[in-house]
Structure 1
Amino acid sequence: MVDMSVTEPDRLENFPVTFFAVMMGLLGLVLSLTAAEKAAGASDAASQLVLGASVAVFAVLGFFYGLKLLRHPLAVKAEWDHPVRIAFFPTISISLLLLGTALAPRMPDLAFVVWSVGVAAQAILALSVVANWIGHRSFTPIHLSPAWFIPAVGNVVVPLAGVQFGAVELSWLFFAAGLLFWIVLLTLVRKRLIFHEPLPSRLMPTLVILIAPPAVAFVAWVRLTGDIDAFARILINIGYVFALIVLTQGLRFFRLPFALSWWALTFPVAALSVASFVFAYETGSQTHRVIGFGLTVILAFAVATLGVRTAQAIRAKQICRSE
């Protein structure tokens, strides 16, 4: 997906950390397909294929961003100091956590290693981002966007495989942290969206991120408690409510130019899809099963479309450029 022309010094310097949002979309599709295959009683050929492609893409992105870190550390620092891009750094740790979760039923030993690295990276990045938010006084309401949910979402991803690996108390710790910051950030983001300037066009797709925290938290809660209780029902239905709210802005999305931020809409759809399948499996709800299949189809189409658009943008050298 990444053209070798990116290795030119001026291009590599502008290789964006937001590229790792692609990984969250691809691995979200793996988890969604896996849940759909289980619900349909089908083989796991599709999810295996996408998983293999995801690992390859992750290796390429990691290689190029590693080169950027070595050759242009000041450019990486500039991204870290950027009030918007800093929130995308945890997409790296979240990708590792999702990869570990996707590998868990297939290669549990390797999955545990990948997941453990992801947990450590998530702890470091999430704490660093929050410390930056608290200690950095130049932020203004216009810098706030739903992308700020990304560090919080990463915390609630930990229990998805953590319970299976026996790290129950650690999973509760990350879940509690993620839930706390989701509630706090939800209030702040809601105020920003209502009372301040509209989101810039490049950040408009991040509105879909509103769906992810309650959807992932629902799956994590069920993993931790083993039950669909009242709180679980509240979480999944909050996810559906946010999905409906996002749909009210659907026409505005179609008028926007393509940007890497468009990948932000894929993982939330995947999270809601998996949540729907989990609810259907635990309760026998056919309605949620149908919703799960419908969201998986939408997600697969979105990932395929965005993959083509990203490849076209790379070929046209419209991504790795200074802003």
Structure 2
Amino acid sequence: MSDATAPSATRLEHFHVTFFAIVMGLSGLALALHAAETAYGLSSLASDIAYFGTIAVFVIIAMFYAAKAMRHGGAVRAEWNHPVKLAFFPAISISLLLLATASLSRSEALAQALWLAGAALQAVLTLAVVSGWIGTRSFMHGQLSPAWFIPAVGNVIVPIAGVQLGYVHLSWYFMSVGLIFWIVLLTLVINRLVFHDPLPGRLQPTLVILIAPPAVAFVAWVRLTGDAGPFGLILLNAAYFFTLLVAMQLPRIIRLPFALSFWALSFPFAAVTIASFVYAGAAGSAAHKTIGTVLLVVLVVIIAGLVLRTIRAITAGEICQPE
């Protein structure tokens, strides 16, 4: 094993919580493939491969981060105190919730265990992160980014599997919290993007996160109410607007030097893909089925590119380096 790929105490110390964004993206791919398979009546081979691959990646990343927590507790605390990385801690609970959702069609017992762990952790992290935002610490406008949506997104993911597992009232709690904070944070983030300096290069890919809250909330709304309805259509069309808005920025973003933050491109595209297939199934809309198919192709290309660039960065020793 080369020095670039061999694990070391120094590189473990810089194994950031942002790695869990990889699990979010891969989980989103598995769910999007399953949605497409359902829409077209195909076998679950592709989604099964993505699902089991995602579980393997999650286990590896969780083991490395647990090792970091045990050996470099100060580094974890530094991440918690970091104004940007703080928002990525709920990516851990979101990963559990997404895996729970993907497990529903495979093992309800596993799905329930993952969901309970993910929902409990999400509740704790949401309170802790929001307390950190409004507590004794002061944040500058330049430290605000679309990554701050991550805790809110995690809450609206909860009902997707929660309703099917029978936790309806608890799912409404998480949905309420998620929607409220999406509206609040959307106002703050748009203000920051319009009236202040552009996002730093490493944070430019987080612009894509704008797509995720309304797309995920739409799927959760359908699960909770059994119908898209007018409010569901507002959420879905908001997701489409942000997708078009982000598409105009992508040519500039993909030319930036690669960083782990590029994985922020993956889950939001998966979310709007799934939302399109869900509406296509609920309303019998061939147009939305086509939109979902096109978005799925884009998602697969994005994930393939991210995997290749991540492997290349790991091989070159560019990952887990001091910032």
Counterpart residue number, 2:86? 86
Equivalent residue runs for 1:191-206 within 5 Å: 191-206=191-206
Tell me the matched-pair count: 321
Q: What's the CA shift string for 1:250-270, capped at 9, x where partnerless?
A: 221132111100100110000
After TM superposition, which residue ranges in structure 1, 4 or more long, deviate above 4 angstroms?
Answer: 3-6
1:93–1:122 contact (8 Å) kept in structure 2: yes
Aligned to 1:288: 288
Give the corresponding residue for 1:76.
76
Question: 2 CA distance for matches of 1:219 and 1:179?
Answer: 13
TM-score by length of 1: 0.98
Partner of 2:116: 116
Q: How does 1:202-241 map to 2 (within 5 A)?
A: 202-241=202-241
Equivalent pair of 2:5/2:314 in contact (CA under 8 Å):
no
Q: Secondary structure at the match of 1:114?
A: helix
| 1:6-45 equivalent positions in 2, closer than 5 A | 7-45=7-45
Deviations 1:21-50 (A, max 9, x none): 000000000000000001111000000001
Match of 1:263 in 2: 263
What RMSD in Å do the two structures reach over aligned CA positions? Answer: 1.1
Deviates more, 1:4-13 or 1:300-309: 4-13
- Checking the alignment, whether the CA contact within 8 Å between 1:99 and 1:114 is kept in structure 2 is yes
Partners of 1:47 and 1:251 in 2: how far apart?
29
Which consecutive unaligned segments of at least 5 residues does structure 1 have?
A: none
Once residues 48 and 198 of structure 1 are traced to their aligned partners in structure 2, the CA distance between those partners, rounded to angstroms, is: 40
- Counterpart amino acid of 1:229? G
Alpha-carbon shift at residue 137 of structure 1 (Å):
2.9
Q: Which residue in 1 is equivalent to 2:314?
A: 314
Structure 2 length-normalised TM: 0.98
What amino acid sits opposite 1:155 in the alignment?
A: N
Q: How far is 1:6 from its partner?
A: 5.6
Cα deviation, residue 5, structure 1: 4.2
Find the counterpart in structure 1 of residue 155 from structure 2: 155
1:11, 1:218 → 2: CA distance?
39
Q: CA deviation at 1:319?
A: 1.3
Could you say which residue in structure 2 is the equivalent of 1:64?
Answer: 64
Specify whether residues 103 and 242 from structure 1 end up closer, same or farther in structure 2 by C-alpha distance, changes over 3 A only. Answer: same
> AA paired with 2:317?
K
Mapped partners of 1:254, 1:23: distance in 2: 20
For residues 9-30 of structure 1, what are the alpha-carbon distances to aligned partners after superposition, in whole Å with 9 as ceiling and x for unaligned?
1110001110000000000000
| Residue identity opposite 2:228 in structure 1 | I
Distance 1:162 1:4 in 2: 42
Cα separation, 2, equivalents of 1:20 and 1:218: 23
Q: Which amino acid aligns with 2:302?
A: A
Cα distance in 1 for partners of 2:275, 2:261 equals: 23
Does the 8 Å CA contact 1:6/1:320 hold for their aligned counterparts?
Answer: no
Residue identity opposite 2:32 in structure 1: S
Which residue matches 2:254?
254
Contact 1:6-1:15 within 8 A present in 2 as well: no
In terms of mean alpha carbon deviation, does 135-144 or 179-188 score higher?
Answer: 135-144
